Structure 1
């Protein structure tokens, strides 16, 4: 096993996950407004999206699978639209009237998983990582299958640990005291990422169409 390459991968994943983005903003928002349980379910949804992206990256390496750039562009476009919608909803909560407490819904868990998955699968940062950087570390062991399993496991552990830390921080007294401010900043971050991602996805789709 190439320990130096593995360490470089761990640090790369750590820096990627710690850096605020749509997933972090969604987790913080969910933790503050719906509680830690819902936030954990949302984190599981983002992890499921990461596993799917990792699987596609491995298939591209082992089978020569080549994904149509237009397909990637459309997935990113739809994901950014959903991220933007979440940002708008968050801003409406901040600047609108105080919400009326409602009885908990039985489908909240499924909603959290679905929201996390959709944000994760359309997150431009994760798409770029698994399409471009993930293959650079596949030689961490002599076996491609073992390397893919190890790299995916490291990603899941680091990702869930960092998101868990964000969930705990979001439930601290300081964060709850400035709940509307933190929610507003998180929602603006979601909206900004969505707009940038939309611009990038539209540009990529235009370039793909011009090359046909």
Structure 2
């Protein structure tokens, strides 16, 4: 086992997941609005989305297939559209919550399906798994062992870090900051979507 490469992978994944992005924004918003249980379901959904991306990356490697960069840009573009849609919904709910007499239904916040959709459409995860993940497959002499170890580490790191975000959001929401958290999450998602759209449209146009 290549310990140095494995530690490099752990550090890279930890920084990638901990950095605020669409998954973190959705999980934090869900935790503040609908509680930790639904937020954890959202985190599990995004985790499953990531495992699908790992599977795609593994297939590309095993089949020795090359992914067209334009296709990668199109996938990221689709992800940005989905994230933008969720951002608008989050901002609308935050605005409605300010004047509504009844709370927003928890069923509209996060959950396994939304988490899975955001996880599989997350532009930075798509780029990571297609472009950088293959570089860490030399952690062992067996491709299957490498895939198993790297996948397991991703699941553990992902759930630990998102769990920490859920705890932070829970504490802040108890202090009466639910609407502020929802607004910030919505704005963050919208900015990520707009920047991603601009970047990928430029890449496709070039």
What is the CA RMSD across the aligned residues, in angstroms? 2.0
TM-score by length of 1: 0.88
Residues 176 and 81 of structure 1: CA distance in aligned 2, closer, same or farther (over 3 Å):
farther
- How many angstroms apart in 1 are the aligned matches of 2:101 and 2:16? 34
5+ unaligned residues in a row in structure 1: which ranges?
208-212
Residues 114 and 104 of structure 1: CA distance in aligned 2, closer, same or farther (over 3 Å):
closer
Alpha-carbon shift at residue 69 of structure 1 (Å): 3.3
- How many angstroms apart in 1 are the aligned matches of 2:101 and 2:118? 24
Q: Does 1:98 align with 2:100?
A: yes
Q: Once the two structures are superposed, what CA deviation does each residue of 1:73-128 show, in whole Å capped at 9, x if it has no partner?
A: 332222211111111122122233236237765xx79x711211111111111111
5+ unaligned residues in a row in structure 2: which ranges?
none
TM-score by length of 2: 0.90
- How many angstroms apart in 1 are the aligned matches of 2:30 and 2:42? 8
1:175/1:182 contact within 8 Å kept: no
Counterpart residue number, 1:210: none
Counterpart residue number, 1:45: 45
- How many angstroms apart in 2 are the aligned matches of 1:10 and 1:114? 27
1:88/1:187 contact within 8 Å kept: yes
- State which drifts further: 115-124 or 151-160: 115-124
Residues 27 and 174 of structure 1: CA distance in aligned 2, closer, same or farther (over 3 Å):
closer
- How many angstroms apart in 1 are the aligned matches of 2:101 and 2:79? 27
Alpha-carbon shift at residue 173 of structure 1 (Å): 4.9
Counterpart residue number, 1:137: 136
Q: Does 1:88 align with 2:85?
A: no
